[in-house]
Amino acid sequence: QRFKGLGITIRFILIQNRAGKTRLAKWYMQFDDDEKQKLIEEVHAVVTVRDAKHTNFVEFRNFKIIYRRYAGLYFCICVDVTDNNLAYLEGIHNFVEVLNEYFHNVCELDLVFNFYKVYTVVDEMFLAGEIRETSQTKVLKQLLMLQSLE
């Protein structure tokens, strides 16, 4: 029942590798550390058994996961059952393209060594469990500005 938040769209965003290591975990709902760990493990279990003949959508508890695999990484967004699957698939791709541009052909190690920057990218594109900025050029411009402040 905790997951039935009226209006909350994105519950969490996860980036995991095939072995189950978390490269990013952004939560838009309150969970205990234990619950978070459990969710991470469950998502990993559910998503890694699927292959090319499956859709990119998995019914998960009483909502759903939209996911996409890029090389060894799974990008998962957990949304409400009523949300538009195809649109969130585009959202994931948009996000990945920004990462790719920002890190110049991003690979997993980039996400590891620059984890706090990955969070910055997420926070430029998503907020309060909603998609915030979708223009890749705009996001990249902001990211470079932020970088210059360091």
Partner 1 sequence: MPAPIRLRELIRTIRTARTQAEEREMIQKECAAIRSSFREEDNTYRCRNVAKLLYMHMLGYPAHFGQLECLKLIASQKFTDKRIGYLGAMLLLDERQDVHLLMTNCIKNDLNHSTQYVQGLALCTLGCMGSSEMCRDLAGEVEKLLKTSNSYLRKKAALCAVHVIRKVPELMEMFLPATKNLLSEKNHGVLHTSVVLLTEMCERSPDMLSHFRKLVPQLVRILKNLIMSGYSPEHDVSGISDPFLQVRILRLLRILGRSDDDSSEAMNDILAQVATNTETSKNVGNAILYETVLTIMDIKSESGLRVLAINILGRFLLNNDKNIRYVALTSLLKTVQTDHNAVQRHRSTIVDCLKDLDVSIKRRAMELSFALVNGNNIRGMMKELLYFLDSCDPEFKADCASGVFLAAEKYAPSKRWHIDTIMRVLTTAGSYVRDDSVPNLIQLITNSVEMHAYTVQRLYKALLDDISQQPLVQVSSWCIGEYGDLLVSGQCEEEEPIQDEVLDVLEGLLVSNLSTPVTRGYALTAIMKLSTRFSSVNRIKKVVSIYGSSIDVELQQRAVEYNALFKKYDHMRPALLERMPIMEKTATNGPTEIVQTNGETEPSVLDTKHPPPVTQPANQVRTLKQFWYLHSVLCCCSDPVSPWTFQLQLLSPSSNVVPALNQGTVTQVIRVLNPQKQQLRMRIKLTYTHKGSPVQDLAEVNNFPPQSWQ
Contacts to partner 1 by CB under 8 A: 5-8, 21-23, 25-26, 28, 30-31, 33, 37, 53-57, 59, 84-87, 89-91, 94, 112-113, 115-116, 119-120, 123, 127-135, 137-138, 142, 145-146, 149-150
In whole angstroms, how close is the CB of 113 to partner 1 at the nearest point? 6
In whole angstroms, how close is the CB of 16 to partner 1 at the nearest point? 11
Sign of CA dihedral 60, 66, 70, 75: negative
| Residue 30, SS3 per DSSP | coil
For residue 19, give every residue at least 6 positions away whose Cβ sits within 8 Å of its Cβ, in sequence order, or none. Answer: none
Contact criterion met (CB below 8 Å) for 100 and 94: no
Q: How far apart are CA 140 and CA 56, in angstroms?
A: 27
| Exposure string for 100-131, b = 16+ CB within 10 A, e = fewer | eebbeebeeebbeeeeebbebbbebbbeebeb
In whole angstroms, how close is the CB of 4 to partner 1 at the nearest point? 13
In whole angstroms, how close is the CB of 71 to partner 1 at the nearest point? 18
In whole angstroms, how close is the CB of 62 to partner 1 at the nearest point? 15
Q: Smaller CB distance to partner 1: residue 104 or 119?
A: 119
